[in-house]
Copies of this chain bind each other. A is one copy, B any other.
């Protein structure tokens, strides 16, 4: 699969895919005879995972640390787990803060309601 196809399938722009490769967030893709990147489906799994990290607000620098541990292979599992646990805890706190904010928003929204039921 070439970069255009991967772009469509992953939802990332071709620009972004090259950028991610450049900074090391995506593994260096093999090139075909004419120098174009050639991907197999397995990269989609990784892109989906880093997409989850991104959705939850992890900075690229942290994703890179995870990616490097992963690339270092066996022996790094504990570190990888610790990294994810710390992140998950931050995410849960963040979700709680957003939910609290929604409560405030809901009150404000209700306050704009013409109070039609006074009985």
Contact = CB atoms under 8 A, between A and B. Distances in A.
Nearest to A57: B98
Interface string A59-79: 000000000000000000110
- Identical copies in the complex: 2
Sort chain A's interface into a size bin.
Answer: 20 to 34
A57 to B, nearest CB: 8
B102 A92 contact: yes
A84 B101 contact: no
B84 A52 contact: no
B113 A88 contact: no
Interface stretch (A23-31, A34-42, A104-112): A104-112
Given A77-B112, A84-B108, A106-B88, A97 B55 contact: yes
